[in-house]
Amino acid sequence: MLFIRHFERFSERAYRQGKAGGYLHVYIGMEALAVGWLTQIRQGYDYVITAYRDHAHALLLGSDPVACMAEIMGRRGGLSRGKGGSMHLYDIPKGFFGGWGIVGGHTPLGAGLAFASKYRGEDRVTLNFLGDGAANAGVFFESLNMAALYDVPCIFIIENNEFAMGTRLEYHAADTELHKRGYPFGMKHERLDGMDLLQVRQDAKRIIDWVRENQKPYLVEIMTYRFVGHGAADNDQTLYRTKDEVESARQRDPIALLMDYLTSNNLMTREKIEAIDAETEAEAERVYEEADASPHPDPSEVYDDVYSDMTPEVGH
């Protein structure tokens, strides 16, 4: 969790310093959610797909942090050699299928990944992450229906951080209990906490085990909160929330919650935690510097990988 937090701070720095462009969405405040779930799957075997707030998922699945940061900076050393960017991180050999920019658009892909494992008689589970904003998309409902119709082992995980960009939950969803989206399709569904890592891990294990065993889809809505703007270009958060609200949410900062648990149970001293914090921050800085040393792509690479076997018509 600490490394993700520091990595995200450095990715924000990359944006501020003009080393990253476009859109950049960080996971600060939501770390326990991805950590809790992605540590409970069979990494490299199970499939994971998410939307554009994707840095944490890649890091947790074992992607090289330097390649992640280099991709965010659009460099040749990036996971997609600078073709994807912050929103489009992929590490297929590690079971990470992105990294998608159209709200809700990737949800049928995730269900299709799960369909493929059922088609082949494998016992993989697919974690299909989406945001609360995507929970309103038509194609998401289509995906839920098809996943339930074919009984595919897919867990739809709504990361409910209470905002669809700058629009608060109650202004974008007619029913704010998004887990109920599973009900019309006969899908098991529940709302869970996403801030207390130990609880998140327990919930994740229980549900992943159930889906693997029963080969049916599941819908969970996980309550979380982003402490920072929607994207790096979100420069006026007063339009949709107050400082007090953010401060109050920070009382349940997932990292602070875990630190309190560790210290109050005498599992780790405050000094030790601070030392780890300093170490991970230094590591994130090293990642940043190393990524920044990666060269930009050569203009001649622009046509690479449009197709697997041919080049499009060349030239302007």
Partner 1 sequence: MSTIEMTYRDAVRQTMVEEMDANPDVFLMGEDIGRYRGTFRVTEGLYDKYGVEKNDFIVPGIARRVVDTPIVEPGIVGFAIGAAMVGLRPIVEMMTMSFSILALDQIINHAAKIHYMTAGQAKVPLVVRGPGGAANQLSAQHSHSMEGWYAHVPGLKVVAPATPACAKGLLRTAIRDDNPVIFTENPGLYGIKGDVPEDREFSIPFGKARIARQGTDLSLIAYSRMVHVCLAAAEQLAERGISAEVVDVRSLLPLDTETIFASVAKTHRAVVVYEDWKNGGYGAEIAARIAEECFDDLDAPVGRVGGLNVPMPYSRVLELECIPNADDVLAAVNKIA
Residues that bind partner 1 (CB under 8 A): 47, 49, 79-81, 83-84, 88, 90-93, 97-100, 102, 105-119, 138-139, 142-143, 145-146, 149-151, 304-310, 312-313
Cα separation of 29 and 237, whole Å? 16
| Three-state DSSP state, 139 | helix
Backbone angle region of 188, left / alpha / beta, with phi > 0 → left and psi within -120 to 50 → alpha: beta
Cα separation of 1 and 7, whole Å? 10
Shortest spacing between CB 23 and partner 1, in angstroms: 14
Sign of the dihedral through C-alpha 202, 224, 8, 278: negative
Burial (CB count <10 Å: 0-12, 13-18, 19+), residue 145: middle
Pairing between strand 163-164 and 167-168? antiparallel
Sign of the dihedral through C-alpha 256, 260, 262, 263: positive
Shortest spacing between CB 187 and partner 1, in angstroms: 14
Shortest spacing between CB 306 and partner 1, in angstroms: 5
Q: What are 49's two structure tokens?
A: 């797909």
Shortest spacing between CB 210 and partner 1, in angstroms: 18
Nearer to partner 1, 103 or 259 (CB): 103
Nearer to partner 1, 47 or 240 (CB): 47
* φ, ψ at 189 (rounded to 5°): -155, 145
Nearer to partner 1, 122 or 247 (CB): 122
Nearer to partner 1, 81 or 189 (CB): 81
Nearer to partner 1, 148 or 223 (CB): 148
Shortest spacing between CB 309 and partner 1, in angstroms: 7
Cα separation of 301 and 179, whole Å? 44
Give every CB contact of residue 269 below 8 A, 6+ residues apart in sequence.
Answer: 263
Nearer to partner 1, 266 or 308 (CB): 308
Q: What are 52's two structure tokens?
A: 């554009």
Shortest spacing between CB 213 and partner 1, in angstroms: 17
Pairing between strand 47-50 and 218-223? unpaired
Nearer to partner 1, 119 or 171 (CB): 119
**DSSP code for 303:** G
Burial 250-277 (b: 16+ CB within 10 A, else e): eebbbbebbbeeeeeeeeeeeeebeeeb
Shortest spacing between CB 89 and partner 1, in angstroms: 10
Nearer to partner 1, 93 or 274 (CB): 93
Shortest spacing between CB 132 and partner 1, in angstroms: 20
Cα separation of 225 and 77, whole Å? 32
